Structure 1
Amino acid sequence: MKEYLKKVECLRRRIQRKKHEIYLLHQQAEGMNGSGISNMPRTVSPDHSKMEGTVFKIMALEQDIKDTQQEYDALIADMERRIKAIDDADDRDLLTKRYLEFKSWDTIAAEMFISKRKAYYLHNKALKSLQSDAVSFT
């Protein structure tokens, strides 16, 4: 499960980082075309090769986000399928909160009206049901 959480978190961070890079490139591109309101004199002809390079970078980042999102979605879908196959409703609920909703142990315990220690106990029990399916998440 640790591998699953690490991989999901890594993919989520990668997607966010790429989205931020795109945002910064959009900001940079807006400055290139001189569309900002300013008292400074504008250049007569913007540098189109810089603009093209920025557009290509944005397109490459968007494709990378799409590919990463597909990998992320497949990982989540596999976990969801495995959790739904568990018979015990409390086990399903706990695993859903932890591995699909990514809630903290404190939040899970509060939502289930149990102690954090009991949440850990139920988690270990639920993991045994989940790991009976020998599919790896890596």
Structure 2
Amino acid sequence: MESVYSKRIRAGKRRTYFFDVRATRSNDYYLTITESRKKFNEDGYDRHKIFLYKEDFNKFLKALTEAVDYVKTELMPDFDFDAYNHDNVQENEGGYQETAVDDTVEDEVRHTPTSGTHTPTGEEVDKW
């Protein structure tokens, strides 16, 4: 399906995450989250993809935020997570050069305006 928005996040030398908003034929939207890892001793990439549908956006975001906050505050409160920001990617003669930055910098964003309204819901996240 057609991608109406795309965000790429480089995570080190071998890993990249892609967030793509895609449109269906019926003008509905969903999100795909893809992890792409360069194979260590081979050519090519391993890809893992999650399809996230609009009715699950709020629950997914809440659960993800809770899990990340738990790791940051309860399990690793003294760890400097900002030391691992490698978002500042510069094109360098046909290749890419990655440099660490102090603040998060958006890498590559493509956005196509769409019609519709955004109405967040206050859905609860199921705990296991």
| TM-score tier after normalising by the smaller chain length | under 0.3
Q: Which protein is richer in strand relative to its size? A: 2
Greater C-alpha radius of gyration: 1
Q: TM-score, normalised by structure 2?
A: 0.27
Considering Cα pairs closer than 8 Å and 6+ residues apart, tell me whether 1 or 2 has the greater RCO: 1
Q: TM-score, normalised by structure 1?
A: 0.26
Q: Which protein is richer in helix relative to its size? A: 1
